[in-house]
Amino acid sequence: MRTTRVFDVANRLARAAGARARVSLRDEGGYRVYVILPRDIGAEAQLAVLDVLVTADRFGHDKAETVEGVWAEIDPEPEERA
């Protein structure tokens, strides 16, 4: 079940970043996990975040003037798309 995978990614990402993970449904189906990174995140924590991100179907990084975050997307199972 993908929801188990989604919440596993969210939990691991939150622990790695030391920040709260937010889970949302995507319009196209599936889920997006988003974490705002602490400004003082260390190199070890950054590597831990990357280790989690690579387990997602897609991932990325957002940077604004005052905030930086990462996201991971999990696609729905084929039977969930119908």
pTM score above 0.95: no
Q: Which domains does the chain have, with CATH numbers?
A: 2-81 (3.30.1360)
DSSP label of 28: T
DSSP output for 31-64: EEEEEEPPTT--HHHHHHHHHHHTTSSEEEEEE-
Mean pLDDT score of the chain:
92
- Model confidence over 51-66: pLDDT tens digits? 999 999 999 999 998 8
